[in-house]
Amino acid sequence: MIHSTFSPYLIKKSQNTLLKTCFVLSIILSSFMFQSSLYAQRKGKITKEEKQKARDKAAQVIIKKNLMEFADAYSKLGDTKDVKAVMKHMAKDVTSTVVTFNISDRGSVLNSDYNGFLSYLTKITRTKGLKIDYNIKEVLKNEVNGAIGIIIYVVEYAITKDKDIWSKGTETVSMVFRNEKQTNDWKIAHYSVIGTEDERIKGVCSCELYKSSTGVNSGNYLVKTIVPSGKNYSSKVSNFEFLYENQSGKGGKRTIRLGDNTYKWTQTGDIFREKADGTQGEMVAKSHPNDEILAIMSILKYDIYSENCTNINLKR
């Protein structure tokens, strides 16, 4: 006879243990399914937020790319004359505020719009030999929140004319980009600039004239000229002497003396620098045939300070 190795007691005990184990497993399984359900619900909410964050991150890349394209087109404008390549980054309702401090620490504020910036770019293209080197050194902030993006950067610029440096400086620029709904393009809606001029070699000069003496055949002027000279402006003082061959000052030889320089001022207004032997040298400028002050300003602008003055404003 074959006998079972399990007694009724052991069989019953085993059944109870199995029931308890199944009960515990069912609780664990239920808990797991509940947590999975919560996780799935929670995952749906996070995904929506993360999708927006992902869109904002992607927009940051686009905005920075647009900024670099803008800077490159602006820097090449003197060569390409391609105004559209710059303006395509601007919204039609763009506004701007530019605050600039020159080498004398004098500030100026300029508020502008789309047409104002377009006019400024057009002037650059029409000025022969003028170039602006626009070099972004650092991006301080690039942040997007939905349809608005803000990028802040530091730029160093150098303005040259016929390869001669006119001025150098540094600007901190804040640009607000806006996503255009119709085209999905990011455009510059506003920009603010705070700039400091670090160096100015050439620019607008100013002068004051004092007529020190007047004779029948002569006239003397003491002239003070303010000239950009790198890190600041310099004050230069000159003495102009007009000598006339005839007492009336008309119809005869007219000579202008300025230090070691001697000029011939013709009846047609042409001004020639005389050579050391007294013969006529190169033509310096074409001025007014009879106005002594305009003759002085022509000599200052086109000869004495030709490397410093783009124009001279007269303070009377």
* Residues 159 and 210 reside in one and the same domain: no
Percent share of the chain, pLDDT over 90? 58
Residue 41 has pLDDT above 80, yes or no: no
Question: What is the arithmetic mean of pLDDT over 146-155?
Answer: 96
Of 161, 177, 200, the residue that ends a domain is 200
pLDDT level of residue 201 (50, 70, 90 thresholds) = confident
* Residues 71 and 177 reside in one and the same domain: yes
Residue 3 has pLDDT above 50, yes or no: no
Residue 44 located in a structural domain? no
H-helix or E-strand containing 240? strand 233-244
**Can you give the pLDDT at residue 11?**
45
* Residues 174 and 213 reside in one and the same domain: no
Place of tokens 């029948």: 216
Place of tokens 């320089």: 261
* Residues 229 and 269 reside in one and the same domain: yes
Pick the range with the lowest mean pLDDT from 59-63, 154-158, 247-251, 278-282: 247-251
* Residues 80 and 113 reside in one and the same domain: yes
Pick the range with the lowest mean pLDDT from 34-38, 118-122, 158-162, 255-259: 34-38
Residue 138, both tokens: 């650092």
List the strands of the sheet with 233-244, edge to edge.
280-286, 270-274, 261-265, 254-258, 233-244, 218-228, 203-214, 309-315
Q: How far are the Cα atoms of 132, 170, 257, 274, 275 from residue 260, in angstroms, in the given order?
A: 37, 40, 7, 11, 11
**Can you give the pLDDT at residue 305?**
92
* Residues 108 and 177 reside in one and the same domain: yes
**Can you give the pLDDT at residue 77?**
96
pLDDT level of residue 14 (50, 70, 90 thresholds) = low
203, 227 in Cβ contact below 8 A? Answer: no
* Residues 141 and 239 reside in one and the same domain: no
Residue 22 located in a structural domain? no
Of 150, 178, 200, the residue that ends a domain is 200
263, 238 in Cβ contact below 8 A? Answer: no
Q: CA-based Rg of the chain, rounded to a whole angstrom? A: 39
Question: What is the arithmetic mean of pLDDT over 128-136?
Answer: 94
pLDDT level of residue 4 (50, 70, 90 thresholds) = very low
**Helices and strands in the chain: count of H runs, count of E runs:** 5, 14
pLDDT level of residue 206 (50, 70, 90 thresholds) = very high
Residue 78, both tokens: 């003197």
303, 284 in Cβ contact below 8 A? Answer: yes
**Domain of 141: which CATH number?**
3.10.450.50
Q: Domain residues for 79?
A: 54-200
* Residues 222 and 170 reside in one and the same domain: no
When divided into structural domains, the chain yields a total of: 2
* Residues 176 and 84 reside in one and the same domain: yes
pLDDT level of residue 232 (50, 70, 90 thresholds) = confident
Distance CA 97, CA 200 (A): 22
Pick the range with the lowest mean pLDDT from 17-21, 72-76, 245-249, 289-293: 17-21
Residue 195 located in a structural domain? yes
Longest CA span, the chain: 162
Residue 16 has pLDDT above 70, yes or no: no
